[in-house]
Amino acid sequence: MAQTYDEVFPFRGKGVEVTGLLKRGKGEGRDLPLIVLIHGGAINAAYFDNPSFSYPAILSERGHNVLNIQRAGYGGNPLPTSKTPIADSISVITDLIDEVYRYQVGNRGGVIIFGHSLGGATTLAIAAQSELPFPLLGVGALGIVPSPTKSGLFQDENPAPKGRQRAVKKETKSLFTRMFGPIKYIDENLFTADALIATSEKHETSVPGFRDTLEEYLAEVSQLASSFTELIAEALDLPATALNQAFETPQQHKLKLIKYPAPPLSHDSDSGFQGVGAHKDSGFVTFLLQATSHHGLEVQNKEGQWIPAPPVPDSFVVNIGRALEALTGGVCTATTHRVSLRKENFIDANDNPLGARFSFPFFQGVSLDLSADTIDLVIPEHIRDLVKDEKVKSDAEATFNDMFKTRIGEGTFIARITSHQDVGQRWYPDILAKALKGQQDFVAQ
């Protein structure tokens, strides 16, 4: 979570609530522009301000006032009640910027806005308004490319070859032109409220009911996760609400819709056609819906044996995550699991092909602010005594140290590349090798 700010300014309107985190610039009487930062989806204002890199800290040192905005539904802000939250957020964020610029930083110096992803689209939409209450000097949109087709895609007349790629020329101008086409002025009509929601409407007509179905499913499983958390607390002989401190409000969950294509007919167990390697989920609890009849999911018991976990109709597979193991000192042991893509898992009892395997994991995420200093959880001694395996205890202690005395995101990243080793080997070979060696050293203890 973002930490570099001096003052907090909640702001609401039109069923949308956002928060401005203001970091004041160093030095008096300097009429430098107010810098505004707007994050995208799937992350909060920590995108611009985290322990690895902080734009507010750097810009403040240079004398700028910096307003880092938490959008609706992020960083503790409630979910919007508006039926058009993206469109309504544009005017609300505009008013917040005006309020801070006018009454907090002296109404001088002008404003520059930077946005990432959906925050970039919001930034361009603000800039496209015919009248603004403050002097806008410039904008920057990261992770989004303006396109007159509204699709965000450019035709590539010179597609790159497949496989590993290397840049061999230093011709920055030609490289930029090839990637983005000739520089053009932005048509303000591209970034109206209608244009911003055009993508979601397009996908809704492609798969009717898709968005509504997913949102309903997320709401139902979120309620299940909350109830299940209370049951875990009671099973640990704790108050039902004891584990609530591990979560943000609203909670930040993640749903993945995973397709495993059937392997080639020539595939065998040694061909390197990867499923998902042995790993533990980094979050609190995972609720996995195996949507097809394929076998392939395997769970490792404490003796190191791999146990098949075939689909059972109308049920979830519930995996304990590393965060819950760490918080409970190993009483709740994280589930080691993997997905095998052996060809026999893609045929039925009559040797008929089953096609692709589909799996829908719902990851219950813990607060990004969670640290050893903010956790106040004491597991009763008689519950801790249930863990007789000293190796599990030491693993849980090491996990706690890794997750909550440094950064949760680092542990999540390591879990990703060890789960998908072909991707890790291509892009992060050194980090993957170090992580795998750590796993091997631990097993050898």
Per-residue pLDDT of 302-314, as tens digits, reads: 788 889 999 999 9
81 and 126 share one domain: yes
- Does residue 158 lie within any of the structural domains? no
Query: What CATH number is attached to the domain comprising 145?
Result: 3.40.50.1820
For CA atoms 71, 47, 249, 369, give the dihedral sign: negative
What is this structure's pTM? 0.52
State the pLDDT at residue 333: 86
- Does residue 1 lie within any of the structural domains? no
**SS3 at position 308:** strand
How many domains would you assign to the chain? 2
Paired tokens of 159? 């597609």
331 and 268 share one domain: yes
190 and 241 share one domain: no
Q: Which of 105-109, 152-156, 198-202 has the highest mean pLDDT?
A: 105-109
Q: What is the DSSP letter of 297?
A: E
Backbone phi and psi for residue 179, each to the nearest 5 degrees, phi listed first = -75, -40
Name the β-bridge partners of 114.
37, 140
- Does residue 386 lie within any of the structural domains? yes
Matching residue, tokens 């609706």: 72
Number of H helices, E strands in the chain: 13, 15
99 and 228 share one domain: no
State the pLDDT at residue 179: 37
409 and 317 share one domain: yes
192 and 261 share one domain: no
**Digit-coded pLDDT (tens) for 235-257:** 999 999 999 988 887 787 889 99
Of 112, 81, 82, 87, whose CA–CA distance to 97 is shortest? 112
Could you list the residue range(s) of the whole structural domain that residue 237 is in?
A: 210-444
Higher pLDDT, 443 or 343: 343
CA-CA distance, 409 to 412, in Å (whole number)? 5
- Does residue 47 lie within any of the structural domains? yes
State the pLDDT at residue 234: 95
- Does residue 129 lie within any of the structural domains? yes
Q: Residue 97's pLDDT band (boundaries 50, 70, 90)?
A: very high
302 and 385 share one domain: yes
State the pLDDT at residue 38: 95
Q: What is the DSSP letter of 101?
A: H
Query: What CATH number is attached to the domain comprising 361?
Result: 2.60.120.330
The identity of residue 24, as a single letter, is R
* Contact by Cβ (8 Å): 296, 260: yes
- Does residue 265 lie within any of the structural domains? yes
423 and 318 share one domain: yes
Of 49, 47, 44, whose CA–CA distance to 60 is shortest? 49
- Does residue 102 lie within any of the structural domains? yes
261 and 181 share one domain: no
196 and 216 share one domain: no
**Digit-coded pLDDT (tens) for 151-192:** 443 444 444 444 443 333 444 444 334 433 444 444 445 444
116 and 251 share one domain: no
pLDDT more than 70, % of the chain: 74
Do you know the residue count of the chain?
Answer: 445
**Residues in CB range of 28: below 8 A, 6 or more apart:** none
Distances (CA, A) of 296 to 344, 346, 360: 9, 9, 14
State the pLDDT at residue 169: 40
The identity of residue 296, as a single letter, is G
Q: Residue 405's pLDDT band (boundaries 50, 70, 90)?
A: low
- Does residue 161 lie within any of the structural domains? no
**Digit-coded pLDDT (tens) for 369-391:** 676 666 778 889 898 888 776 55
176 and 273 share one domain: no
Domain boundary among 203, 226, 246: 203
Mean pLDDT over residues 210-239, rounded?
A: 92
State the pLDDT at residue 427: 84
Q: Residue 67's pLDDT band (boundaries 50, 70, 90)?
A: very high
**Digit-coded pLDDT (tens) for 120-137:** 989 989 998 878 999 998
